[in-house]
Amino acid sequence: MSDETAEVRIRPLQDTDLGDITGLDEKIAGEYRPDVWELRLGYYMRRDPDASLVAELDGAVVGFMLGEVRSGEFGLEEPTGWIEVMGVDPEVRGRSIGRRLAAAMLDYFRARGATTVRTLVDRDMEGIAQFFTALGFEPAGLTPFSKKLA
């Protein structure tokens, strides 16, 4: 652990984090979306209350990672940990906060019996593929298919 990250604390998501996470998303995506985040956090907390995490730096929420363990989707029967939504405050990126969030989430997935962790990366989103590659993720044999429903 470097001195720069010594004051980082990873803890489970709580419903009182809604305001901070909405603010972080606004910083990252440029849009204030409290209703979206209320629904989203509610979903993750109901599904798997201990899976999703926030990172605090000196007591302030600076990052979050939402995910859960599921099985049976896409023909994948084994319990699989899914990392689905994450964000780190642009002002504190590059300080291993994302790495720590992922490490804690993977520990939780293992404890829940998951043997694999999966995520989907949008190639148009800068840095996400590099982040997961740095964490040891590799391209998987699942190919996303989509079709416009216009």
Ligand X SMILES: CC(C)(COP(=O)(O)OP(=O)(O)OC[C@H]1O[C@@H](n2cnc3c(N)ncnc32)[C@H](O)[C@@H]1OP(=O)(O)O)[C@@H](O)C(=O)NCCC(=O)NCCS
Supply the minimum distance, in Å, between the C-beta of residue 31 and ligand X. 11
Closest by CA position to 64, among listed 40, 47, 80, 46 = 40
Kindly determine how many residues on this chain lie close enough to bind ligand X according to the rule CB under 6 A: 18
| In the complex, minimum distance from the CB of residue 74 to ligand X, in angstroms, rounded to a whole number | 19
- Closest chain position to ligand X (CB): 127
Please give the Cα distance from 82 to 93 (Å, whole number).
22
Q: How far apart are CA 121 and CA 130, in angstroms?
A: 10
Q: How far is the CB of 50 from ligand X (least distance, A)?
A: 20
Closer to ligand X by Cβ: residue 104 or 128: 128
Which residues in the 63-102 window bind ligand X by CB under 6 A? Answer: 85-88, 93-99
Give me the residues that bind ligand X (CB under 6 A), please: 28, 85-88, 93-99, 125, 127-128, 130-131, 134
